[in-house]
Amino acid sequence: MTSGTASRSGRGRLLAVALVAISLLAACGETAAPSPSAAAATPRPTPTPDTHLTDPASGSAVYTFLNKAGLGLVGTNAVTGNEPRNTYNATYAGWPLSIFEYSSATTRAKALPFRDGVPPTKGSPAFTFAGQNIVILWGPVEQGAAPPEPDGTHLEAATTLAVALDAVVGPLQERSSSRVSPLAPIAAPAP
């Protein structure tokens, strides 16, 4: 009979050790699931669509994009020609705006050359933006006179215009007295 009692107490110990081991494994093996409110609060990354137009871009597509971006351009007329092949005239924030569409970026650079970041010259508008085959002139132009110095309202409007243009035909080149367009990313040096 002694062997039966010893066998029962051995089984009890074995069962107790097994239960402790199972509970330890269960505690170590799984992490607590996040609460539904924490999982819902974590935003999931979504890809940002590329809004850039293919080169050569259409001036009318740029005009449409700027209005969809909320700039409220008021068109006055459009002219078709050789180079630029299309010109769209409008007003924006009380100043005249012209969108010139060239047949290519190379043709645009030859027809209207300028260095990025330099101030405007006499007889030119306060802001000139260029990207791909598109040039945008914004501001009053008086032959032989310096362009007007933009006030705070026009600087804010120019920044809004530059950001919208950069999204559709960027990276932009800019000629103005106060740079408002996003700077093009600097290429990383080769390893």
For 29-58, b/e burial (b = at least 16 CB within 10 A) is eeeeeeeeeeeeeeeeeeeeeeeebeebbb
Sign of the Cα torsion 61, 172, 130, 70 reads positive
Report yes or no: 146 and 168 within 8 Å, Cβ to Cβ: no
Q: In which region does residue 68 sit, left (phi positive, over 0), alpha (psi from -120 to 50) or beta (all else)?
A: alpha
In whole angstroms, give the CA distance from residue 164 to residue 67.
10
pTM listed for this prediction: 0.70
Cα 137 to chain centroid distance, Å, stands at: 22
Count of alpha carbons within 13 Å of 35, Cβ hemisphere only? 3
Cis peptide, bond prior to residue 47, ω within 30 of zero: no
Per-residue pLDDT tens over the stretch 105-141 = 999 999 988 788 899 999 999 999 999 999 999 999 9
Residue ranges of the alpha helices (H) in 30-91?
36-41, 59-68
Question: Which amino acid belongs to residue 31?
Answer: T
The pLDDT of residue 52 is 80
Per-residue pLDDT tens over the stretch 4-17 = 555 555 566 655 55
Q: Which two tokens stand for residue 48?
A: 């940002």
Q: How far apart are the first and last CA of the chain?
A: 82
Mean pLDDT of the chain: 82
Q: Is 34 a residue whose pLDDT tops 90?
A: no
In whole angstroms, give the CA distance from residue 117 to residue 106.
19
The pLDDT of residue 79 is 94
The confidence band for 186, taking pLDDT boundaries of 50, 70 and 90, is very low
